[in-house]
Amino acid sequence: MAQTAREGNIFDDENIWRILFQIAPPVMLAQLIQALYNIVDSYFVGQYSEAGLTALSVIFPVQFVIIALAIGTGVGVNTYMARLYAYRRYEEADRTAGTGWCWRFSCGRCSRCFHWRPCGPTWRRRRSRRRPWRRP
């Protein structure tokens, strides 16, 4: 049984480039789907207004950086936790999970502050309008 598990581990025996070409396509496919989504979104928004298309072209790289940081951090924390669990260091793995959660929470708060600051005047203007579905 141990011999079979040993033979299935590609990280010990294979060349790094072969491993990379086996593992990278799912990640590349996910990025391709995200890019296609943004292209289709740009097409339809571009038909509506030029300002909307400009906004999408500005936010596209920012969105990719945010996604890359979130995925990279999540994968890094999960990989490190798996390694700690394999070494039976459960308390340290739990602390790592807590640190990862706090990191995610603080990044979310920073992202929200970054978002609300430039959008504040628009938000206040929209909230001050009278909504027809509400009773006076």
Residue range 6-29, pLDDT digits in tens: 555 666 777 888 888 888 888 889
Cα(56)–Cα(43) distance, integer angstroms:
10
Instruction: Round to whole Å and give the CA distance between 10 and 8.
Output: 6
C-alpha separations of 86 from 5, 20, 74, 89, 96 in Å: 15, 23, 18, 8, 14
Residue 91 structure tokens: 């308390």
Per-residue model confidence (pLDDT) at position 5: 47
Q: What is the pLDDT of residue 1?
A: 43
Give per-residue pLDDT as tens, 54-104.
888 888 888 778 888 888 888 888 888 888 888 888 999 889 888 888 888
CA distances (Å), origin 66, targets 17, 19, 70, 114, 128: 28, 27, 6, 12, 31
- pLDDT value of position 53: 83
- Average pLDDT, stretch 100-109? 82
pLDDT of residue 119: 60
Q: Which residue has the higher pLDDT, 20 or 114?
A: 20
